[in-house]
Chains A and B, each alone.
Chain A
Amino acid sequence: DGGITQSPKYLFRKEGQNVTLSCEQNLNHDAMYWYRQDPGQGLRLIYYSQIVNDFQKGDIAEGYSVSREKKESFPLTVTSAQKNPTAFYLCASTSRGNGPARYEQYFGPGTRLTVT
């Protein structure tokens, strides 16, 4: 089955440690996105990548880093510089083919990160 996988589902870290969240897709999608969700709020864009080896900052990129070495993978690193890292992180992808379906983003199950 095609889809997006994120692992792990729950992640716990001590303050001051970097942590990397995994996102893998087998949908052959070109573009991938990382969003952050805080309680009672909508999602906010952290980083996005339209093609391999290229990525752009979103609205709240400070304290985060990404890489896009393979089409299928878009890992997100939460660094110690991120002031409030505890949140729910969602990865999404979309194709860049023709037609309006290219605007539909498909989401993974998310990773809930808790930093204490």
Chain B
Amino acid sequence: AQKVTQAQTEISVVEKEDVTLDCVYETRDTTYYLFWYKQPPSGELVFLIRRNSFDEQNEISGRYSWNFQKSTSSFNFTITASQVVDSAVYFCALIMMDSSYKLIFGSGTRLLVRP
């Protein structure tokens, strides 16, 4: 079965701390794509990153970095030197590689960054 698990329901940190959001997935597909989205209080989902199953290199974008490990079926997201504006719900998602190409979402992790 295709499944995404985000075990951390809510994380609270103080500004400037580093924080890692965990994502574990299950899939039968040999080729697949994983995503992270950010949902600020306004509600709109903002695309952060796409990673395919062939590329296990870590990726860094400013204060954001992602660690993809196929061996443990994990795709973790780290925010370095967190800021109040990072407060949001973060979703990890896996795409169904059938005719629908629908996204299978985890339940999300609510991140609260306190000043």
Contacts and interface: CB of A to CB of B under 8 A. Distances in A.
Interface string B90-115: 01010100011111011110000000
A60 to B, nearest CB: 12
Interface stretch (A16-24, A35-43, A65-73): A35-43
Interface residues of B, number: 25
Looking at chain A, what size class is its interface with the partner chain? 20 to 34
B33 A100 contact: yes
B100 A56 contact: yes
A108 interface: yes
A103 B95 CA distance: 8
B63 to A, nearest CB: 22
B91 to A, nearest CB: 6
B43 A112 contact: yes
A40 B37 CA distance: 15
Interface of A: 31, 33, 35, 40-45, 48, 50, 56, 58, 88, 90, 92, 94, 100-101, 103-110, 112
27 contacts: A31-B101, A33-B102, A42-B107, A42-B108, A43-B103, A44-B105, A45-B100, A45-B102, A58-B100, A58-B102, A90-B43, A90-B45, A92-B45, A94-B101, A100-B33, A100-B52, A103-B33, A103-B50, A103-B95, A103-B101, A104-B50, A107-B44, A107-B45, A107-B46, A108-B44, A109-B43, A110-B43
